[in-house]
Amino acid sequence: MSSHDSHAQGHHEMGFIRKWVFSTDHKVIGIQYAVTAMLFLLFGFFLILMLRWQLAHPNTAIPIIGGFLPESWANGGVMTPDFYNVIGAMHGTIMVFLGVVPLSVGGFGNYLLPIQVGAQDMAFPKLNMASYWVFFIGGVIMFASFFLPGGPAANGWTSYPPLSVVAQNGQTMWLLGMVFLITSSLLGSVNFIVTGVQLRTKGMSFFRMPLFVWAQLVTSFLLLLAFPPLEAAGVLQLMDRVFGSSFFLPSGLIVSGEKLTVSGGGNPILWQHLFWFLAHPEVYVLILPAFGIVAEVIATNTRKPIYGYQTLIYSMVFLGFMSFFVWAHHMFMTGMGTNLSNFFQATTMIISVPSVIILTTLLLTLWGASIRYTVPMLFALAFLPMFAIGGLTGLPLGLAAADIHLHDTYYVIGHFHYVVAPGTLFGLFAGVYHWFPKVTGRKTNVALGKLHFWISFLAINGVFFPMFFQGMAGVSRRLYDPMVYAHVAHSQGLTVLSSYCSFILGAAQFLFLANIIYSAFKGKKVESDNPWESTTLEWATATPPPHENFPTPLEVFRGPYEYGLTPKGYSPQHLQEA
């Protein structure tokens, strides 16, 4: 990528379409990904708020919105069971595949990975553009499925057959959408790996790379190796639905009193193996980029090196590797015996070790620090205990005997939301506030940011913590009416608490939206290219960074987190003199 000449000739005369729509600039693509993903996050969140209304006030009309929904979704404003299941399935799908991953990998990864390794762009800029547009098509297909006569998929984000195979057409759209989303991820991951390995600037050895880059590299390997089995499985399920094959359908199915006319001989459990072979590594795809972001923010705002930088890297790599060997802990109840379950319980206990190490190193980094309580730092600090709750509650679920009672209850929902919502999403908020000045050249409003943080932090715990009590009580997931079962109705008070906290959480996000939209256009301009006094390379270039990032390639002289070693307080990687 030594294309100074082309840079000198100037890409600056590109038209609007070439520059902002069909761009090959990784930074523009990153922004495209981030904006699209945030819109989907809002949409997915809005869906679940309607569901939370139904749970808190079963069989009462959804205020305001209920009247605008079609009859099959909300009868007289009251949510139907079918629409409830639609929301359950699409909330999960949208948040995971169209929200969090595109934001953390597509958005942050695209924007930052090349700059942080000192590259001018991704290794394959056109592939990068293709990756975004294939993702976009996948998103359009998913969104369009809401306008099908039968509505979108309603079979859980896991789409277990036979339910998903005998379901309405929305499921076909879901599978088609997934094929596009997976293809997009594969294109992206190849690009990330090649860029991270090949385009590092002079002096940027592997052990001088920022942790964010490491996290993205491990994530890319997970996407590259884990997604193809799901893509294959998706195509097989598509065959079952559209062409009458029976990969996942056993013989002799009687659905609604009618014998199903399929050849049979398939196995529904096969889908679960293929699905979870992706979906467990996917959990680490969701969390690793957040680890990376949090590490950057913590290093900058503690003004000292990350404790155990190399240990953290080895832990992330080991975590990624192990994540391929734990998938069947999602399947203890399918009829698994002792041999298989012992293996998967053991691997699950092993994978908890690197997670604990990562958390410990970040906590130890605080010792001796000089903590600046900036808005991104608040989110990054909150990430630590929230991720701890998410991780610790994984322990009972990872042991088959305890899982007998807890499997598929609200305990599971509480567990993975603690990892992904106050975990990953807080990490992503930290990232948005941290890099906003670099991307836009303007600062966000600190008071609004702090208000956003505190309301979100309190509300989100109110949403998810009660779920542990409910899960222990045996409250199953995906129940439309919480009043049918006595053991569920007993904790209705917690359901109401959880719902109202989710409404407050929803309202708090308008503070965030108002802040970033206003600040992007009218925010206070940054006076320096390095407003946080940070060490990594993205702060060494202009603000916002120009096309191809660096007018002349930088050379790197030291590791990424040399804070507090000189009187100046920080030693940027690209400066020879500390």
Partner 1 sequence: MTETTSWMPADAFAPRTAESPYGWGLPLNISTHGAGIDQLINILHWFCLALFVGWGLYFLYCLVRFRARPGHQPNPMLNHFKLPTFLEVGVAIFEVAILVFLAAPVWGSYKNDFPDEKDALVVRITAEQFAWNVHYPGRDGKFGKTDINLIDGTNTIGLDRNDADAKDDIFTINNLHIPVNKKVIAYIHSKDVIHSFFLPVMRVKQDAVPGMTNKVWFEANQTGSFEIACAQLCGNSHFRMRGQFLVDTPEAYQAFLVEEEKALSEASQ
Tell me which residues in 16-75 interact with partner 1 (CB under 8 A): none
Question: Before 544, cis peptide (omega within 30)?
Answer: yes
What region does 168 belong to: left with phi over 0, alpha with psi -120 to 50, or beta?
Answer: beta
Instruction: Give the x-and-dash track for 273-302 against partner 1 (CB under 8 A).
Output: -----------------------------x
Q: In whole angstroms, how close is the CB of 57 to partner 1 at the nearest point?
A: 13
Instruction: Give the one residue of 389, 421, 425, 554 binding partner 1; rule: CB under 8 A.
Output: 389
519 is an interface residue for partner 1 by CB under 8 A: no
Nearer to partner 1, 338 or 552 (CB): 338
* Residues in 408-447 that interact with partner 1 by CB under 8 A: 408-409
565 is an interface residue for partner 1 by CB under 8 A: yes
* Residues in 153-192 that interact with partner 1 by CB under 8 A: 154-156, 160, 162-163, 166
Residues in contact with partner 1, counted by CB under 8 A, come to a total of 106
404 is an interface residue for partner 1 by CB under 8 A: yes
**DSSP type of residue 305:** P
Q: How many C-beta atoms surround the C-beta of residue 203 within 10 A? A: 15
The bridge status of strand 258-259 relative to strand 254-255 is antiparallel
Give the burial class of 265: count Cβ atoms within 10 A of its Cβ; 0-12 exposed, 13-18 middle, 19 or more buried.
Answer: exposed
Q: In whole angstroms, how close is the CB of 484 to partner 1 at the nearest point?
A: 5
The number of CA neighbours under 13 Å toward the Cβ of 63 is 6
Q: In whole angstroms, how close is the CB of 160 to partner 1 at the nearest point?
A: 6
448 is an interface residue for partner 1 by CB under 8 A: no
Cα–Cα distance between 61 and 63 in angstroms, integer? 6
568 is an interface residue for partner 1 by CB under 8 A: no
CB-based contact 69:123 (threshold 8 Å):
no
Q: In whole angstroms, how close is the CB of 424 to partner 1 at the nearest point?
A: 19
Q: Tell me which stretch binds partner 1 (CB under 8 A): 77-85, 132-140, 421-429, 537-545.
A: 77-85
Instruction: Give the one residue of 27, 280, 407, 438 binding partner 1; rule: CB under 8 A.
Output: 407
> Helix, strand or coil for residue 157?
coil
Q: How many C-beta atoms surround the C-beta of residue 1 within 10 A? A: 16
Q: Which two tokens stand for residue 200?
A: 């590092």
* Residues in 522-561 that interact with partner 1 by CB under 8 A: none
* CA-wise closest residue to 226 among 292, 273, 295, 258: 273
Nearer to partner 1, 86 or 119 (CB): 86
Q: Tell me which stretch binds partner 1 (CB under 8 A): 128-136, 201-209, 382-390, 541-549.
A: 382-390
392 is an interface residue for partner 1 by CB under 8 A: yes
Continuous segment of H or E residues that includes residue 259: strand 258-259
Instruction: Give the x-and-dash track for 115-154 against partner 1 (CB under 8 A).
Output: ---------------------------------------x
Continuous segment of H or E residues that includes residue 258: strand 258-259
The DSSP code sequence of 54-102 is HHHSTTSPPTTGGGGS-TTTEETTEEPHHHHHHHHHHHHHIIIIIIIHI
* Residues in 232-271 that interact with partner 1 by CB under 8 A: 249-257, 259, 264, 266-269
Q: In whole angstroms, how close is the CB of 256 to partner 1 at the nearest point?
A: 7
Q: Angle at the Cα of 288 (from 283 to 289), degrees rounded to 5?
A: 120
211 is an interface residue for partner 1 by CB under 8 A: no
Q: In whole angstroms, how close is the CB of 557 to partner 1 at the nearest point?
A: 18
Instruction: Give the one residue of 131, 352, 509, 530 binding partner 1; rule: CB under 8 A.
Output: 352
Q: Which two tokens stand for residue 425?
A: 């999403």
Q: Tell me which stretch binds partner 1 (CB under 8 A): 178-186, 203-211, 340-348, 428-436.
A: 340-348
Strand-pairing partners, residue 74, are: 79
Q: In whole angstroms, how close is the CB of 402 to partner 1 at the nearest point?
A: 5
